[in-house]
Amino acid sequence: MIILLAVSVEFEIVDAVRWYGLDAEMSVDGKPYEVRGGVLTLDLPEGEHRVQVSAPSHSPITTVINVGENSPKRYRFLLYPKDPPRPPKGERGMAVWYGWVVDGGSLRPIKGVVVEVETPWGTFRARTDDEGYYRLTFPVRPADGEEPHHAKVRFLKEGYTQLVREDLVVEGVRRLNATLVEGSGRRVVRKEHGLLSPKEPPDVKKKARPPRASDERLLATLLIPPTTIRVGTDCDCTTCTSVSVVSLETYVRFGLDDEWIASWPDHSLRAGAVPYRSYGAWYVAHPLTSSYDICNSTCCQVWDPSDSYASTEAAAVYTSGIMLDDSGEVARSEYSAENNDCGCGDGYSGDGVYWPCIYDPVCSGEVCNGHGRGMCQWGSSRWADSGYTWKWINDHYYNPGGYYLSTPMHITAASVSPTAVCEGDTFRIDLSVASFAEYEHTHIMLGASIYNGTFFSDPQRDTLVVIPPGTTATYRHFVVPSGVSPGTYDVLVALWFDVDENSQINSGDFYMYSLWIPEALEVCSAVSTREDREIILRRGNLFVDGRYEIYTPDGRKIGEGEGTVRFPRRGIFFVKRGSRTYRVVVR
> Measured between alpha carbons, how far is 297 from 242 in angstroms, rounded to an integer?
13
Task: For residues 553-582, give the mean pLDDT.
Answer: 77
| Low-confidence winner among 76-90, 356-370, 558-572 (lowest mean pLDDT) | 558-572
Q: Where are the beta strands (DSSP E) in 306-425?
A: 307-309, 324-326, 329-330, 335-336, 348-349, 358-359, 375-376, 403-407, 409-417, 420-421
Task: For residues 543-569, give the mean pLDDT.
Answer: 77
Closest CA to 404 of 301, 327, 489: 327
The pLDDT value recorded for residue 135 is: 98
> Measured between alpha carbons, how far is 254 from 280 in angstroms, rounded to an integer?
13
Query: Above 60 in pLDDT, residue 155?
Result: yes
| Low-confidence winner among 21-25, 299-303, 380-384, 567-571 (lowest mean pLDDT) | 567-571
Cβ atoms of residues 183 and 161 within 8 Å: yes
Q: Are strands 580-586 and 221-222 parallel, antiparallel or unpaired?
A: unpaired
> Using DSSP, how many helices (H) and how many strands (E) does the chain show?
5, 42
What 3-state DSSP class applies to 353?
Answer: coil
Q: What is the DSSP letter of 399?
A: G
Closest CA to 219 of 435, 518, 515, 514: 514
Query: Above 70 in pLDDT, residue 176?
Result: yes
Q: Grade residue 423 by pLDDT with cuts at 50, 70 and 90.
A: confident
> Measured between alpha carbons, how far is 134 from 316 in angstroms, rounded to an integer?
25
Half-sphere exposure of 585 (CA within 13 A, CB side): 14
What are the start-end ranges of the H helices in 386-532? 390-398
Contacts of 116 (CB under 8 A, 6+ apart): 123, 124, 125, 153, 154, 155, 156
pLDDT above 70 coverage of the chain, percent: 92
The pLDDT value recorded for residue 529 is: 38
Question: What's the CA angle centered on 230, arms 373 and 381, to 5 degrees?
Answer: 35
Mean pLDDT computed over every residue of the chain: 91
> Measured between alpha carbons, how far is 337 from 349 in angstroms, rounded to an integer?
11
The pLDDT value recorded for residue 549 is: 84
> Measured between alpha carbons, how far is 489 from 450 in angstroms, rounded to an integer?
6
Locate the domains of the chain by residue range.
6-79, 94-191, 221-406, 408-523, 527-586
Q: Grade residue 215 by pLDDT with cuts at 50, 70 and 90.
A: very low
Task: For residues 366-383, give the mean pLDDT.
Answer: 96
Query: Above 50 in pLDDT, residue 162?
Result: yes
In residues, how long is the chain? 587
Choice between 563 and 472, residue whose per-residue pLDDT is larger? 472
As assigned by CATH, the class of the 94-191 domain is mainly beta
Q: Grade residue 531 by pLDDT with cuts at 50, 70 and 90.
A: very low
Buried b (16+ CB within 10 A) or exposed e, 53-81: bbbeebbebebebbbeeebbbebbbbbbb
Residue range 408-523, CATH number: 2.70.50.60
Task: For residues 159-163, give the mean pLDDT.
Answer: 97
> Measured between alpha carbons, how far is 514 from 523 in angstroms, rounded to an integer?
22
Domain 527-586 maps to which CATH number in 1.10.287, 2.40.160, 2.60.40, 3.40.50? 2.60.40
Peptide linkage before 210 cis (omega within 30 of 0): no
| Low-confidence winner among 1-5, 391-395, 465-469, 554-558 (lowest mean pLDDT) | 1-5
What 3-state DSSP class applies to 505?
Answer: coil
Task: For residues 413-423, give the mean pLDDT.
Answer: 91
Query: Above 60 in pLDDT, residue 442?
Result: yes
| Low-confidence winner among 76-80, 212-216, 486-490 (lowest mean pLDDT) | 212-216
The answer to whether domain 6-79 and domain 527-586 are alike in fold is: yes
Q: What is the DSSP letter of 171?
A: S
pLDDT digits (tens, 9 = 90+) for 487-502: 899 999 999 999 999 9
The pLDDT value recorded for residue 485 is: 87
User: Which amino acid, 405?
Assistant: L
pLDDT digits (tens, 9 = 90+) for 250-284: 999 999 999 999 999 999 999 999 999 999 999 99
Task: For residues 530-559, give the mean pLDDT.
Answer: 69
The separation between CA 438 and the C-alpha centre of its own chain, rounded to angstroms, equals: 7
> Measured between alpha carbons, how far is 436 from 407 in angstroms, rounded to an integer?
9
Query: Above 80 in pLDDT, residue 318?
Result: yes
Q: What DSSP line would sit under 201-226, residue for residue? A: --S---PPPPP-TT---SSPEE----
The pLDDT value recorded for residue 208 is: 53
Rounded to a whole number of angstroms, the distance between the first and last alpha carbons of the chain is 73
Closest CA to 16 of 62, 81, 60, 87: 81
> Measured between alpha carbons, how far is 280 from 230 in angstroms, rounded to an integer?
10
Residue range 6-79, CATH number: 2.60.40.1120
Q: What is the DSSP letter of 540?
A: S
Q: Grade residue 563 by pLDDT with cuts at 50, 70 and 90.
A: confident
